[in-house]
Amino acid sequence: MTLHGKLIQTLVSTAIIAVSSSLYAAEPIQPIVPAKEINLALAELGKKLYFDPRLSKSGFISCNSCHNLSMGGTDNLKTSIGHNWQQGPINAPTVLNSSMNVAQFWDGRAPDLKAQAGGPIANPGEMAFTHELAVSVLESIPGYVTEFKLVFGDDSIDIDKVTDAIAEFEKTLVTPNSPFDRWLLGAKGAITAEQLTGYELFKNSGCVACHNGPAMGGTSFQKMGVVEPYQAKSPAEGLIAVTGKDADRFKFKVPTLRNVEMTYPYFHDGEAETLSEAVDVMGRLQLNKKFNTQENGQIVAFLKTLTGDQPSFLLPVLPPSSDTTPQPRPFE
Q: Mask: binding to ligand HEC, 11-50, rule CB under 6 A, as x and -?
A: ----------------------------------------
Q: Distance between CA atoms of 323 and 269, rounded to whole angstroms? A: 42
Among 222, 305, 307, 321, interactor with ligand HEC by CB under 6 A: 222
Could you confirm whether 200 is annotated as catalytic? no
Show the site string, 271-290: x = touches ligand HEC by CB under 6 A, - = not.
-------xx--xx--xx---
Q: Which is nearer to ligand HEC, 101 or 321 (CB)?
A: 101
Out of 43, 45, 65, 141, name the contact with ligand HEC by CB under 6 A.
65
Q: Which residues contact 264 (CB under 8 A, 6 or more apart)?
A: 76, 273, 274, 275
Whole-Å CA distances, 88 to 38, 82, 83, 118, 331: 32, 6, 10, 17, 18
Q: What is the footprint of ligand HEC within residues 111-150 (CB under 6 A)?
A: 113, 116-117, 120-121, 126-127
For residues 58 and 41, what is the distance between their CA atoms, to the nearest angstrom? 28
Please state, in angstroms and rounded to a whole number, the distance separating the CA atoms of residues 114 and 118: 7
Pairing state between β 86-87 and 221-223: unpaired
Choosing from 37, 44, 126, 277, which is the catalytic residue?
Answer: 126
Least distance CB 14 / ligand HEC (angstroms): 37
- Sorted by sequence, the CB contacts under 8 Å of residue 79 that are 6+ apart come out as 87, 88, 89, 90, 91, 92, 234, 269, 270
> Residue from 210, 215, 301, 306 that binds ligand HEC (CB under 6 A)?
210
Size of the site for ligand HEC (CB under 6 A): 52
- Binding range to ligand HEC, per CB under 6 A, among 10-18, 110-118, 130-138, 148-156: 110-118
Yes or no: say if 304 and 276 are a contact pair by the CB < 8 Å rule.
Answer: no
CB 326 within 8 A of CB 129: no
Contact 88, 126 (CB under 8 A): yes
From the list 12, 16, 32, 299, the residue with the least C-alpha distance to 184 is: 32
Is residue 301 close enough to count as binding ligand HEC by CB under 6 A?
Answer: no
Among the listed residues 51, 54, 59, 106, the single contact to ligand HEC using CB under 6 A? 106
Peptide bond into 330 cis (omega under 30): no
Closest to ligand HEC by CB, 23 or 226: 226
Residues that are catalytic:
126
Q: Contact residues for ligand HEC (CB under 6 A)?
A: 61, 63, 65-67, 80, 82, 88, 90, 92-93, 95, 98, 101, 104-106, 113, 116-117, 120-121, 126-127, 166, 202, 205-207, 209-211, 222, 224, 226, 252-255, 257, 260, 263, 266-268, 278-279, 282-283, 286-287, 299
